[in-house]
Amino acid sequence: MKMLNPHSIRLERRLAGSTNRWRFPKEPFSQDLLALSQMCKAMSIDFDEALKDPDRLCILKSRKGFSENLKNKALQRRDTVVILECLGLQWELHLPQLFQSETLTKLYLAAQGEETSDPVMELEKLLQGPAPRKTKERPPVKKMIISLKINDPLVTKVAFATALKNLYVSQAEVSLEDVLGVLASAHTLRFSSLFQRCVAMMMKGLEPRNIKDFYLTGRKYKEEQLITACEKWLEVNLVPVMGTQIHLRKIPKELLHKVLRSPRLFTFSEFHLLKTLLLWVYLQLNHRIQTLPAYETVMAFFNSFPKKCSFLERDMGHGLMSLFLCLRLHGVTKGKDLEELKHINFFPTSWLVRVKANHYHALENGGDMTYLSDLATQAMRFGLMFNQEYTTHSKMIAIYGFFFEIKGIKNDTTSYSFYMQRMRHTDADPSLCEHGLISLRAERLVKYEITAQTLVGGRWQEFRTNEIMQKFRLVKLSCRSHVLKIQTVGNPIYVSFSFIFPGS
């Protein structure tokens, strides 16, 4: 029997993912690719990212590897071992709290001057502290100073202090006014739990005054869920909320363009959306305006330009062309509204001529919109904003001599029904019978879809019918559309009715 050399290197067994594997204790873990892969799966870490940045993996492993017993011992000691110099101030931190920040952990290990191949043992040793002695007093812990330079302008002293406070109190209060700075501080500290808490808070706290800053922050830190939340919020609030506030000016052009192209965009009518977009342009060109101008003021402003060419054909209008190409100008059907657009000389003449030609062609063919085919991108859009206090809410619309009522009914505290129905001209508002235009066709073929959106607990609920093709008559049994029935506690509910009149 061969005797083993007691001084030879011994193998030790360590848990790596779901199996135990033999390896040398001082060998860098990143060279053991099978064990590395197993550990990444167990710790929910991307394998490719671990190979790119093994130092970060070691830190994550060390943080996850601490036993609860060691944490409790360190918490009981409460020894101040690190002084952090940052933003011209000094903060005293304890090791258990400091190790929640990947940035501070890395700075601490670098200050130790030890490029250890096994940071797990090093950090456990630091947390455990010296072994108990017979004497009552322990030697004082040596304080160490580390420095952190921050170049992010969003990080303020107050915000950074709040982030450090969260190292000690996991649910320390963060105000909506300070959340941008705290998020930036958490990003600098690589304090992921606080960062995600700030993101969730921002997603729930979206409102007109902060939508721009929150969106740009999401872009800066590549936080897709925050970017998406801003886009979805603006899709339903652009016309009914932002269109009535001076904060409309702050919306970035790229965000506005994306929202205008979205199939979930809510508007009361195409003309409402057009007026909102004209107001946005007016506010971009009149920076000193601090109150929302009247619609007549906006129209007069654009009408004041020389008539040689339209506003969009001018140098200042070329960059805005892409926004207005997203509009469905064929959805503006009232003669009065079309005359206003011609009067302000905003759109190229060719655009307005094409819109009027399409209307004339549809009227000649009994309302058939042969120039439209795709419901998702070309349909005429009308909307209702149904508030919780309503029992019923409806609106009458008229297109090419056909009259429809779009309607919502509250069935009980959480149940709602939405539908559209064809109406006789005698039941419609006289103001809708423009120039006495009334269709005598007994049937009207309609391709339509009804959708509803509402916010519940920070998440958007969406309900919709399928695309439906239906003949609407004036008799009771065939005048009503399919009914969209929903159950929700959301308030308000944004309901969109999209339709076209196919050739019949």
pLDDT tens string 3-51: 444 444 444 444 444 455 544 444 444 455 666 666 666 555 666 666 6
Lowest pLDDT segment from 198-207, 258-267, 361-370, 419-428: 419-428
The C-alpha atoms of residue 65 and residue 48 are separated, in whole angstroms, by 21
The C-alpha atoms of residue 227 and residue 493 are separated, in whole angstroms, by 22
Average pLDDT over residues 375-392: 95
Q: What is the dihedral of CA 481, 388, 233, 319, to 10 degrees?
A: 70
Lowest pLDDT segment from 216-230, 415-429, 479-493: 415-429
Instruction: List, in order, residues 6 or more apart from 236 with CB less than 8 Å away.
Output: 264, 265, 266, 453, 494
Could you write out the DSSP letters of every residue in 253-296? HHHHHHHHT-TT---S-HHHHHHHHHHHHHHHH-TT--SPPPHH
Element (H, E) at 471: strand 468-472
Between residues 493 and 8, the one the model is more confident about: 493
Average pLDDT over residues 396-400: 92
* Residue recorded with tokens 């959301």: 490
pLDDT confidence of 437, banded at 50, 70, 90? confident
User: What is the pTM (predicted TM-score) of this model?
Assistant: 0.78
The C-alpha atoms of residue 390 and residue 387 are separated, in whole angstroms, by 6
* Residue recorded with tokens 């030879």: 8
**Terminal CA-to-CA distance of the chain, rounded, Å?**
98
Please answer whether residues 372 and 464 qualify as being in contact, where contact means their C-beta atoms are separated by less than 8 angstroms. Answer: no
Where do the domains of the chain lie, and which CATH numbers do they carry?
A: 81-116+142-205 (3.30.710.10), 267-365 (no CATH), 380-500 (2.60.40)
Q: Return the CA Rg of the chain.
A: 32
Between residues 426 and 59, the one the model is more confident about: 426
The whole-number pLDDT of residue 38 equals: 64
The whole-number pLDDT of residue 69 equals: 43
What is the strand order of the sheet 392-399 is part of?
392-399, 402-410, 415-423, 484-487
Q: Which residue type is seen at 297? A: T
Q: Is the model's pLDDT at 188 over the cut of 70?
A: yes
Between residues 7 and 209, the one the model is more confident about: 209
Nearest Cα to 262, choosing from 232, 241, 239, 237? 232
pLDDT confidence of 199, banded at 50, 70, 90? very high
